[in-house]
Structure formats: C-alpha cells, structure tokens
Amino acid sequence: MSDVPNVHGVTLSLVASGQKRTDAEVAVVAAAKTEGGVRLLGQALTEKRAGELAALLPQFGFTGGAGSTQFVAGEAKDPADVLLIVGLGAVDADPTSEQLRRAAGVATRTLAGRDTAVIDFPNTTEDALSAIAEGASLGAYAFTAQKSVVPETSVPLKQAVVATTMKPNKSLKAVLERAATVARHTKAARDLVDTPANELYPASFVDYAKAAAKGLDVKLTVWDEKKLESDGFGGILGVGRGSARPPRLVQVQYSPRGAKKELALVGKGITFDTGGISLKPPASMEEMKSDMAGAATVLHTALAAAELGVSVKVTAWLCLAENMPGGNATRPGDVLRMYNGKTVEVTNTDAEGRLVMADGLSKASESEPDLLFDIATLTGAQVVALGQRTAGLMGDDAAVAAVKSASEATGEPFWPMPFPEEIREDLDSATADLRNSGNRNGGMLKAGIFLSEFVESDGKRAKSWGHLDVAGPAFNGGAAWGFTPKEGTGFGLRTLVAVAENLA
C-alpha cells in the first residue's frame, strides 16, 4: 500500500450544446417522467426527433423513472451513432442538481467499456454544470486492484464531454476543474475502503497517506505505538493492542499562508473490526474492512482542500487501529485512561470506534479550531434509525448548520438528531468516569453523547463541534445506483470540502 492506487479518472471537457454531430461514441440525453409519458429534455435533439423518441420509448418499457436507461440507435442529425436515454424521474420546472448528478452517474456507469460520451443535459447555471460533471466523474469508477484480469466492459468510461448552452470561459473551466478534483479524491477514498485489511492496516495506511500527500502543501505527523504510549493515548492503544499490527495516529495539516480559520477533522480508522473480545457474528463481517471510511474521508478532504487552494487551515486526524481478539486484547471490564485524562470502563469491546475517536477529538481540540467534526462508521443504530443512505448529524447549532448548508449543495443527505439529556445517565460507570456502552436504546445518540465528553483537553476546546455517523452511507452492500458504486462510496467528503470552502 505504499503506492497511491490508480484511480480510473474520466477526463472531463466542455462542448456547446445542440451540435448535430460530435466525435463521441454515445450521446446521453435526459428524460423526465410525466403523467402524459416521457419528455426529453435539453437541446441534444431536434424538436421533431425528440417527439418521435418520446412516442417510441414507452414501447420499450421506458418511462423516464429515476435511474432508468434505454439505448437507441442514432440518426444522421443526432449527436452520435448511439443515444443513451437516462431517466431523471419527475421534474418540476427544471431538474434539481441532485437529479442531474445522479443521472450523469448512471450514464457513465452504464457506459463502462467505452471511450467517449457527450452528456447533453439541460444546464443554465454553474451549479447544474458542476453537478453533471461531478456525477459523470463519480459514476466512472471501478475498483480493480485485486483483479488478475479486468474485463474491457469493466473499464470506466475514459472521456465525458459535458454539453452546455453557457459560453465557455475561465469561470466554467474552474467549475469543471473543481468537480474533477473533488470527484477524484472521493474515488480515492472509495479505493481505501475497498482495499482488503490484509493490505490496508495502520502502518500501510500511513505509507499510503505519505504517498498521496506528495507534491501537495501538507505536513504529516505520525504517532507510532511508542509515542502513543508516552503521550497518553489510552483509547487508541486500548483498541489496537489485540492486533499484531500496532495502531497509529496521523495528523495531516494543510496550513495556507494568511488563513484565519481552522477546520479540524477526526476520522475513525479501524482498518478491520472483529469486535474484539466482544466478537461480532460472522455474517457480513467481511464488510468490516470499511470501518476506516472516516479516516479515508478526512485524509482526502484535507488533500482536496490543499489541491483546490482553499484559504482555510484544514487539519485531519486519522485514528488508526485494528480491533482484534488477541491474547493482549482489551477485555470487557478493563478501564482505559484517555488522552484528556478521563477514564472509561470498556463494557463492550465492539464499541471501539468511540474510544479511538475520543483520543483524536481531545487532541484536535487543543488548537481550539473554529469548527471540529468527527466522521465515523460508528453505530449500527444509525442504519436502524436512518437507513443506508442518510447520515446522522449531531452537535451544536453552528456545526449542524454548517453541514446542513454544505450538504444542500452537495446532495449528500444528513439528518439532525438530538442529544437528550437523560441518555447520558446510561453511560455512568461505578468504576470509571464513564463506560463506553449501555443499553441499545438510542444507540446512535448515546455514541454521540459519549464523544461530546472528549471535545476538550486541558481546558481547551473547539469553538464548535459536530459528529457525523455515516455507518450506512459509507458502504453500499447492495446494487450500484446513481453515481454510487457497490462497496465504498466516499460519502461525506464532498460535504466536508464544501464546509471548508464556506468557512474560508
């Protein structure tokens, strides 16, 4: 894992909309679902041709439903020899940015194995153009590092040409470049999530981070097991001591000249989670290679911010450990002394993420950042409460508002959740300052309340703090949809980049 994986990157470019003929193999056209049938959108086709296809498509069973597709042979005046019609679902006056983003992702996923496509969706604003470009790049993805043979049909689309009625200029070029950068880092985070735990473990994760940061204005600082011990990181050490592969803490800092504000990010990096002594059931345990999605996300958020030149300091903390049931593993009933001095009775070794995150949050609080967020695949209770696609959002009002504002632009769904005061009582311990788990009720909220106890160290704390539980959205165990592939999704990165830009 010392080398940065080859992220199959689609090349993005612009062309004027409505051209009769392009060099693309396929032209992608958007369709809306209406009560009267299919309505084709945009200027890719003549009015007559669009009307003919609208009458023909229902005969194939195509209704324009969101995510649906239909290939049609192109004619002489069409932009390409092959047309791909992609459904947006019901559309009001204009498609939303998220409808465009998902449809573009569906298109490029469907066109794996081909070289070039022109995507001629309606777009009259930079936000719409950005969404189409992002979706096209995010959909053009495949994780093939572990394949001995990669079928041609699995190779992502190589070039996506985005058609627009707007006049190309420097501003549109910047929109395209930003979309390409953010999508590329999202796909790199997916690669990390998809990498098996025998290759990605704390030390190799550090090697990856160093390689990925080369050429960027970032500084890496690493705590190995000896430095973790001497500096008092009892949570990270307690979780990692059952593994033959010792834990690590990594600080990735982007500090541009003149930056007046700091965004600190703490990512859960459990490179594999067996549950420790409190062993998980075997069903689907292989998916626990994804328990480091938070660390992958904050790493590539910081790197993306550096590449984009965002004028705010971004400090990412990667809390890396492997949770194994070894002979030296932490036992239920053991007490750990955390970085900020508080003691925790471990009543469940499978509630380990909050232990490494507690140390990371306390350390990150020492610089008193303007905004501090942790992001973690933290609780199964998040999935029970909000499902596979919506993340839990907790914290103070300012932090919640920052994520909600950013996520409205990125289309990544976060749902604010409360911190009921009575839940804290269930974390009381007769032995230590608190315990790491209690009963199952309100499990997602309880984990967030636990973390709130560690957003300070030696009297210093962040000005504002938020907790993102992405247990469901970070890993897609079902079929691909929209621009989202199977397995690692990179969820949350685009929102955190937007949070950094808004803070700047």
**Residue 79: how many other CB atoms lie within 10 Å:** 28
- Compute the distance between CA of residue 218 and CA of residue 454 in angstroms, rounded to an integer: 26
Q: Which helix (H) or strand (E) holds 132?
A: helix 126-139
Using alpha carbons only, how large is the chain's radius of gyration in Å?
Answer: 24
34: DSSP letter = E
Instruction: Look at the block and give the residue holding tokens 């932090």.
Output: 399
Exactly one of 158, 210, 261, 280 is catalytic; name it: 280
- Contacts (Cβ under 8 Å, ≥6 apart) of 19: 79, 163
**Residue 471: how many other CB atoms lie within 10 Å:** 27
Q: Which two tokens stand for residue 425?
A: 């009582």
Contact assessment for residue 12 and residue 133, using Cβ atoms and an 8 Å cutoff: yes
- Compute the distance between CA of residue 263 and CA of residue 369 in angstroms, rounded to an integer: 6
SS (H, E, C) 457-503: ECCECCCCEEEEECCCCCEECCCCECCECCEECCCCHHHHHHHHHHH
Exactly one of 354, 363, 446, 494 is catalytic; name it: 354
Q: Which two tokens stand for residue 194?
A: 């998809």
- Compute the distance between CA of residue 317 and CA of residue 299 in angstroms, rounded to an integer: 8
- Contacts (Cβ under 8 Å, ≥6 apart) of 56: 72
SS3 content of the chain, % helix, strand, coil (to 5): 35, 25, 40
Dihedral angle over CA of 202, 203, 209, 210, nearest 10: 160
Say how many CA atoms lie within 13 Å of 40 toward its Cβ. Answer: 25
β-pair type (343-345, 248-254): unpaired
- CA distances to 254, 431, 445, 451 from 421, rounded to whole Å, are 36, 22, 10, 14
Residues counted in the chain: 504
Q: Which two tokens stand for residue 300?
A: 């590539």
101 is catalytic: no
Contact assessment for residue 459 and residue 366, using Cβ atoms and an 8 Å cutoff: no
**Residue 175: how many other CB atoms lie within 10 Å:** 22
Residue 63 zone, left/alpha/beta (φ > 0; ψ -120 to 50; rest): alpha
- Compute the distance between CA of residue 393 and CA of residue 413 in angstroms, rounded to an integer: 10
Handedness of CA 55, 58, 59, 62 (dihedral sign): positive
354 is catalytic: yes
| Active-site annotation, residues | 280, 354
